[in-house]
Structure 1
């Protein structure tokens, strides 16, 4: 309800699709009665392997994203912890719309030069227009974009068993430019690149019992000497580990190409917020 109200208060009138994984009936009634342009879809667990019902392995997330991209040209996927703060996000759309406009890209930097760039460029803080303009000129970003940095690299929080399914370059994956970003906040466009190179593997991994959730996987991490990139911390981030690994493998192990680098239009609040959101869930 908080998420829906944050969207509607900014004037967005687009349809919101809510996937029901087991919402209580009284809460469903509140949502239906107080929201506009809200479609509630019941997740059909019977169509998938029994492991899909283990909700905290988050396999369902890749299914939801694949299904909605099948039906629409693009989507924002939002966990309920996301709060929108800005009504105009055209600066994010420009990062993928540039593919229809760019004529000549600058040459791709080699890996060692991008290592240097990662250490020199400031981390995301608001909207850095110089970095944004450079990204538009280069126009090499994924059309499946993540946004919120999780505070560590991919290798440190990805169970080693995963690499049986996704061969990778561990040397590149240990570098700081292979950062992990939240899987719960995505802008994606239905293109062949998105569906065949990214979503397909994300989806298939969810169906394979030991791919997204190896049997010994746990959430709790033990970072040795606060090393958040080069050493495995004994934990696993389930769907988040998989989508970040797929994107890194596709985009040169460099977060610059699979994240928006723009953070001025949202914030994340996982603690929950008390209050009456029912009056703000209608379309303005």
Structure 2
């Protein structure tokens, strides 16, 4: 208590001294202090201006070659955009005398060559690389990095697999074959070993299930980071170039319903404007949670979408575990493009201070930032909120809805189940799989 009083007295003395110097008799000390105040004020104004300009420059602009790789532009369009950017860079140099911070490289020559090679392909499975002998030796993988340009199927289920996740991908293939035998499944290999790829190929190498080895090395190195999942929209976009609509599933998701339920959900996605089951879909259908977008999104990400966290306080977060996408122009231009631009911009997808663990959901109110960032899922939900005016009923159903025909199966469960099956075990209690 005595210490607190001494601190207060000391603060009072300091304030009184400053006031005396500022408003005391004119003299050299007084003038010096006024100069310091003026300079400080000027520096503060400059800092505010720089901060404002810095926020204005947080726009999502990516290298044109990535637009080419993702199928948004033709090589000629990308070259035209490149020329415009080069002209802008020259203007920036002339006005500032310095090189601009962003250095846009030329369109990807490799991508153009691969695109030419793929123009003759007509079916999604024609681009599958596992076991292909077109120009490669048998069993050698040809990594695809260019947009598919063949005939689209009506509907495709899309997933991906990383090193160590093959057990989950195999059981997903078996689950789809059992529950949705008429549907096509496409699994993207994003870095699986040859041995694991052979294992997967023995279960997924037919007219209804195929594996594509996709090369992420053409994109920035951080895209392959499993923490950010920046590769998910890339996989989805490539799938949308192969089908008019896709169901994206994480490889740990399983279907408990059947074809009739799937078709019913797909009809919601493909019939914009027709309100069904409380959803007026415009090409997207997912399942929302009780968690607010603002709670699982780093505040700095909102700057790149020229929005504020407060606008998303009551917007429910949609999981990316299972989401339907249509290939409509709205989805392509208003959702996929800005989403991909953020995921290909390091400062947007992974702001300084962002982390995926240590969530604190006990903060009040509940929509406050929890300390956990959702990375690609956060960007996806921001785009959805802005596109559909913060109305989750436009693109999602509640996570506990009876129309949710999916459930999760952990990698540990999948590994144990697969090993049990390989030992010809007759145990069925290990698997929560039911016909309900």
1:25 equivalent to 2:190? Answer no
CA distance 1:226–1:42, shift in 2 (3 Å): farther
Q: Secondary structure at the match of 1:56?
A: coil
Match of 1:6 in 2: 175
How do 1:197-208 and structure 2 match up within 5 A?
A: 197-208=334-345
Q: After TM superposition, what 4+ stretches of structure 1 lie above 4 angstroms from structure 2? A: none
TM-score by length of 2: 0.52
Counterpart secondary structure, 1:13: coil
Aligned partner of 2:297 in structure 1 is 158
When residues 83 and 272 of structure 1 are mapped into structure 2, their CA distance, relative to the original with a 3 A threshold, is: farther
Kindly tell me: are residues 53 and 22 of structure 1, through their superposed partners in 2, closer, same or farther at Cα, counting changes over 3 Å? same
Q: CA deviation at 1:150?
A: 4.1
Conserved 8 A contact 2:239-2:246? yes
- Residue 244, structure 1, aligned to residue 417, structure 2: no
Given the superposition, is the C-alpha separation of residues 264 and 160 from structure 1 closer, same or farther in structure 2, using an over 3 Å criterion? closer
Long gaps (5+) in structure 2 = 1-169, 425-436
CA distance in 1, matches of 2:271, 2:245: 15
State the distance in 2 between where 1:237 and 1:15 align: 29
1:220-273 residue CA offsets vs partner (Å, 9 max, x unmatched): 2112446432x1111201111110111011112122112144544111233542
Deviations 1:47-103 (A, max 9, x none): 111222322211111111111112221111110121101112222123234338x5x
Q: Give the equivalent residue in structure 2 for 1:94.
A: 267
Q: Which has the higher contact order (CA 8 A, sep 6+)?
A: 1
The residue aligned with 2:231 is 60
Match of residue 256, structure 2, among 85, 88, 104:
85
CA distance in 1 between counterparts of 2:271 and 2:246 reads 18
Within 1, Cα distance between the matches of 2:406 and 2:224? 30
Indicate yes or no: 2:350 matched with 1:181. no
CA distance in 2, matches of 1:134, 1:53: 37
The worse-fitting range, judged by mean Cα deviation, of 31-40 and 1-10 is 31-40
Kindly indicate whether the alpha-carbon contact (under 8 Å) linking 1:179 and 1:254 is maintained by their aligned counterparts in 2.
Answer: no
- CA gap 1:62/1:11 in 2 versus in 1, 3 angstroms: closer
List aligned pairs for 1:21-170, cutoff 5 A. 21-35=190-204, 36=206, 37-87=208-258, 88=260, 89-99=262-272, 102=274, 132-135=276-279, 139=280, 141-147=281-287, 149-170=288-309
TM-score (norm 1): 0.77
Aligned residues: 242
Matched residues in 2 for 1:41 and 1:185: separation?
A: 20
C-alpha deviation, 1:151, in angstroms = 4.0
Report deviation, 1:133. Answer: 4.3
Question: Secondary structure of the equivalent of 1:9?
Answer: helix
The question of whether the paired residues in 2 share the 8 Å contact of 1:142 and 1:251 is answered with no
Gaps of 5+ in 1: 106-131, 280-284
